[in-house]
Amino acid sequence: MGIDDSSSGHRHVTTATPDAESASPPRASSPSSSSTVDHTLLLLQSDDPDSRVHAAKEIRRLTKTSQRYRRHFATAVQPLVDMLRCDSGDANEAAIAALLNLAVKDETNKINIIHAGALQPIITFLQSENPTLQEHAAAALITLSASSVNKPIITASGAIPLLVDILTHGAPQTKLDAIMALYNLSTHPDNLSLILQTQPIPPLVSLLKSCKKSSKTAEKCTALIESLMGFDEGRTTLTSADGGILAVVEVLEGGSHQSREHAVGALLVMCESDRDKYREVILREGVIPGLLELTVQGTKKSQLKAQTLLRLLRDTPYPRSEFIPDTLENIVCNIISRIDGEDDQMGKAKEMLSEMVQVSMEQSLRCLQQRAMVCTPSDLPLNSCSPEVPSK
């Protein structure tokens, strides 16, 4: 499933949160809004270039948060696409920004924009030296690639190598938009192998090293890396990239909940594919403290993945004896006793394990206290103990 087009958080064109109108049923147009639409459409088809640019900017403004206006301006798609071919930077920028907003949360407009011929000029803008045009083009591809119908068409246009190139040479916001568009495209069958052919992992690792670990950039980089770890070539490339595994481990330790889930998922896929090959490589980067923390503080998926990876990282992935229980404490002690790392890493892991035990005890104590408060004999009839829903 692709990333929702509204999640790009694009600063100049779209809005990340639609207004209530976009979630409500269609309403009849008021006379004023109808006349505004008609007047703007007339300007858009005039012979005056300045009038067309003004109309495109007005469509961009009106459709920024309004699903109703996106429907009303559906007929503007073709003239706006025609403006993309004008030999005018102002016209190009105004038209692509308007088309981007028309496509947000509107499947029909997404498909019609591609059918109207917008893709070829958008691909050209991806290679533009105009940073604003390039940014709008990458943002437009996020939205357009959220449609399953458009994914194979965009892929066939040659967009993937250009988006990967932006990961190295683009501006910060354009890089993020390129990553999100690539992730959307990666959800279509066969596209992951095509993305892998463009060597995206080195620039993704470079971005992970330089960006804030809790940022949206880190989240989308690790999401894409996790998907690419399903291929032997992807795992080999990440391992051979300078600091590749370490970059993923650092996100596992300091990323957002979603980023950490993707990071531990990427390492787990590697270890599951070939434990003997990747176990020591992952252990050398000091992954244990982060995994221990995830088993307590991560999402449910992260906790499960972290526990599974810990079992794979120990000396043997299965209990050696029925007399040695397969508890998390024994698993961790087994790993720590065999780490060929520095003493401070082992000390940190042991300290983390101690904190885990403390957190677990505190959680258990709180549960006992809540149960005791619920069942107080003086307040309840005999043979009755009905828990209440706790207030929030």
Encode pLDDT of 175-193 as tens digits.
Answer: 999 999 999 999 998 899 9
Q: Which of 315, 366, 357 is nearest to 336 (CA)?
A: 315
Neighbours of 96 (CB within 10 A): 28
Domains of the chain are 1-17+32-198 (1.25.10.10), 202-359 (1.25.10.10)
Average pLDDT, the chain: 81
Task: Tell me how far apart the alpha carbons of residues 367 and 335 are, in angstroms, rounded to a whole number.
Answer: 31
Report CA torsion sign: 276, 281, 286, 292: negative
Structure tokens at 101: 């907003």
Q: How far is CA 55 from CA 42, 48, 60, 78, 111, in A?
A: 8, 11, 9, 14, 22
Whether 143 and 5 have beta carbons less than 8 Å apart is answered as yes
Q: How far is CA 22 from CA 18, 163, 295, 386, in A?
A: 6, 30, 39, 43
Q: How confident is the model at residue 296 (pLDDT cuts 50, 70, 90)?
A: confident
Report CA torsion sign: 284, 289, 295, 298: negative
Q: Convert the pLDDT of each residue in 332-362 to its tens digit.
A: 555 555 444 445 555 555 565 555 545 544 5
The Cβ-side half-sphere exposure at 49, using a 13 Å CA radius, reads: 10
Q: How confident is the model at residue 34 (pLDDT cuts 50, 70, 90)?
A: confident
Q: What number is the average pLDDT over the span 169-179?
A: 94
Task: Tell me how far apart the alpha carbons of residues 332 and 353 are, in angstroms, rounded to a whole number.
Answer: 8
In 3-state terms the chain splits into helix, strand, coil percentages (rounded to 5) of 70, 0, 30
Neighbours of 347 (CB within 10 A): 12
Q: How confident is the model at residue 319 (pLDDT cuts 50, 70, 90)?
A: low
The Cβ-side half-sphere exposure at 275, using a 13 Å CA radius, reads: 12
> What is the structure's pLDDT at 1?
40
Q: Which of 206, 214, 159, 148 is nearest to 182 (CA)?
A: 159
pTM for the model stands at 0.76
Task: Tell me how far apart the alpha carbons of residues 58 and 56 are, in angstroms, rounded to a whole number.
Answer: 5
Residue with tokens 């961009």: 60
